[in-house]
Amino acid sequence: MITSYKKIKFMAMTAGIAMTVLFAPIDNAKAEKSLSSTQKKEIESIVKQVISDNPELILNSVRKYQEDQERKVAQSAEENLKEYKSFFAKKDLPMVGNPDGDVTIVEFFDFNCGYCKKAFEDIQKIISEDKNIRIVFMDMPILSPTSSKMANIALAANKQGKYFEMHKALMDYRGSQNDEAFFKLAEKTGLDIKKLKEDMKSADIQAFISKSKSIAQSLGIRGTPGFVIGEKVYPGYIGIDAMRKAVKKARAANAK
């Protein structure tokens, strides 16, 4: 039998009161004690019936909660982003594109992330078609020990002015993941391997990786890839079309 609207409304209100009494903090302990065992059973029965007959009430409530949480995270991320604006403008960060570009795309990535490899294709497209973009790479090795090794090699390559070349070589690489293979790639890229190995021990490299992870967490970026484009945070893979739109939006905001 289909439950009428009035009955649903009454049951939902009753269930709401019941849940408040049954699941509220200790402040409501007195109210709970004042209910007889018969009343408690009746309330529990109503709650179960409401959930059973109208599961969408629970689903809608959960959905709304998730949306509210996502909205709060996004708002917090954009507030926190203001703190890192000057950091992302630093000229010595790993980057490619126009150093004086009017729009900066910051990518948080892991060399072992499949979606990061797709995002790298998008990045190559966008810097080939737009000569006024600056791309900053924030190494965020979180997937495996080899992710950390590759990040160290790429950041050490930055000390020889070849970060992007090494970044590209590691993103394109599909072979065995070991030191020998990585250093062969570095050698093909034209790097001084002896210097590379020494630079990999630099404390500033570990400091940069820690900083990258800390900033990502502050911006609500929990996995890779994640992007900052202009004044907006984009957690997750967004694709080339969305990237172009974000750049256009950021450029328009800069022009105001």
For the question of whether the overall pTM of this predicted structure is more than 0.75, the answer is no
Main-chain phi, psi angles of 143, to 5 degrees = -90, -30
Nearest to 211 by CA among 109, 139, 149: 139
pLDDT of residue 5: 45
Quote the CA–CA distance of 127 and 104 in Å, as a whole number: 11
Q: Enter the CATH code of domain 83-255.
A: 3.40.30.10
Q: Nearest-CA neighbor of 134 among 235, 55, 229, 47?
A: 229
Averaged pLDDT in 10-residue chunks for the chain of 256 residues: 46 50 48 70 78 72 64 66 91 95 97 97 97 97 96 97 97 94 96 97 96 94 94 94 96 87
State residue 88 phi and psi, 5-degree precision. Answer: -65, -15
pLDDT the model gives residue 58: 65
Please report, for the chain, the start and end positions of each structural domain, with discontinuous segments joined by +.
5-82, 83-255
Q: Is 235:243 a contact under the CB 8 Å cutoff?
A: no
What's the confidence (pLDDT) of residue 54?
75
Q: What is the pLDDT of residue 194?
A: 97
Tokens 């570990």 correspond to 206
Contacts of 78 (CB under 8 A, 6+ apart): 231, 232, 233
Give the whole-angstrom CA distance, residue 68 versus residue 253: 26
pLDDT value at residue 211: 96
